[in-house]
Every structure is written in structure tokens, then in C-alpha cells.
Amino acid sequence: VFMRQESFTVDTAKYKNIGRDKTRLVVYFSRMGYTKRTAYEAADALGADIYEIKATEHTEGTLGFWWCGRYGMHRWEMPIETPNINLPSYEHVTICAPIWVFALAAPVRTFCRSAKGRIREVDYILVHHTRGLYANAADEMDALLGLRRTHLTSIRCVTGIYRETRTETK
């Protein structure tokens, strides 16, 4: 399973529509590439700019899996590089996040807390390996950002195979 996960790649060159609509932004964190692919697909469909949240902790490979699991299990924030994006300049932001141990991934938790009051309108795309909607993670992001989401998309992905999508509109 780890070999299959670690060999997953995303060819960002094939997404030609990214950056055409300067009013929209897609923000994402991805440890294995599954959420990255989802974020690039969303940004391409919307013509949005794209921004990657980068953790300063070790998140790669098998050791990174266990380290991230520790953060996920305790619902801790994880240190990230200081975001260098002008969030208030975008009318709408889509945040793409993986689910760790049935909750929001730690780097996204940190990003949301730091972005409070700087995002006008938001929706979420959550990527996980179970059949849940994960409204709990979306509710946490709402609370951290201090606003209410316009939409939630929940995508089930098992070792790079996207199996099911569920949505919730508010």
C-alpha cells in the first residue's frame, strides 16, 4: 500500500486554465498528491489561481504518515510556512483538505486560523478514504475562519482511485 501511495503523481502541466479568473483562489495541502490532484482539477475548472499550504514538519513517506497521524490523532495544529498570498483580493476561496484520523489535516487547521477575517467567501473540498461527508471538519474550518461555507464537496479516494463524491450546499 505504501509503495502504491508513494508512487502517485500529479502532472500539473496538463491544467491549462489555471489563473484565468483572478477573483477565485484554490488553496490546498496535500501529503501524498491526492488532494493536490483534486485542487488542480478544481482550479482548472474554475480558472482560479492556486496556492499550496506547505508544512514545516516532515510529512513525506512512511515516517511522515506516522508523524502526521500523531498530529491528526491529537487534533493539533502543524507549523506551516507563512502564507504569501493576498487572501482579501479574492472574491471566493476554495480550500481543499485531506482528512487525517477522521478530522481536518493539521496544516489546514493552522492555515484557517491564520486566515481568519481575510477570506470573503469560502467552500471546501475534503479528500479522505472513507464514506463520510466530514461535515465536522467543514464546521471546524468555518469556526476557524469565522464564516460559513457556501458548499462542501467530500471525495472518497482510496490509494489514488477516486470512488465517490458527496456534496452539501448551505
Q: What share of the chain is helix, strand, coil (3-state, %, to 5)?
A: 35, 30, 35
What does each of the 170 residues of the chain score in pLDDT, given as a tens digit?
455 556 667 899 999 999 999 999 999 999 888 999 999 999 999 999 999 999 998 888 777 776 777 777 778 788 899 999 999 999 999 999 999 989 999 999 999 999 999 999 999 999 999 988 999 999 999 999 999 999 999 999 987 888 888 888 76
Distance CA 80, CA 106 (A): 9
For helices 61-74 and 106-115, the axis angle rounded to 10 degrees is 60
Cβ(93)–Cβ(121) below 8 Å? yes
Q: Give the per-residue pLDDT at 3.
A: 54
Q: Name the pTM for this structure.
A: 0.90
DSSP output for 22-42: EEEEEEE--SSSHHHHHHHHH
Q: Give the per-residue pLDDT at 7.
A: 60
Match 510529512 to its residue by C-alpha cell. 59
